[in-house]
Structure 1
Amino acid sequence: MKWLGITIICLFAALLFYAEGDMPAYGDLSAPANVHVSPEYIKGSLEETHTPDMVTAILADYRSYDTFGETTVIFTAGLVCYMLLGSWKKDDN
């Protein structure tokens, strides 16, 4: 059973390395995200959000639902860890 898990992990890693070849190069200006999405954020962030900082405008306005979801997941994970670790306290009785 142990070898089955190792084999599956190795096959999945090989698939990821194979798929990585289709990804655009890091920082490529002709990548789809840089050609279509980024110019719209840069062009309209100050007028649409009235926030001088572009990073804040993108995270707090354009991607607010995504940021809220990520924050909720991290908070829930921290709360679960606290509850699990807190339940192992020894009783004084």
Structure 2
Amino acid sequence: MTNITFKTTWSEAQQMLIDNPTFAEDTDLLIFAEHIKQLEEEEEEERERQKKRIKRQQRKCRDNYIALLDELHEQGKLTSMSLWVELYPMISADIRCV
């Protein structure tokens, strides 16, 4: 397969191998290709699960931060005249915002 170069992507190489009659007849290579495809799918699924997990964690953090701001507002500590220098110690000490 002389048409594979350093610029050839994996998907292009896979397609070239699939189109190659020698590859299509070799059952060992087909089994290997199927195994690699399965591993790639599993990796993609794990990435999606991790992405969802991070997204959920960030949403919970945002919700907790909003709840903290609401509490500070109800206590009269957060107003339109509040200074960040006064609020920062309370916000940074709260474990919900970690």
Q: Normalized against structure 1, the TM-score is what?
A: 0.36
Q: Normalized against structure 2, the TM-score is what?
A: 0.35
Greater Rg over alpha carbons, structure: 2
Q: Which has the higher contact order (CA 8 A, sep 6+)?
A: 2
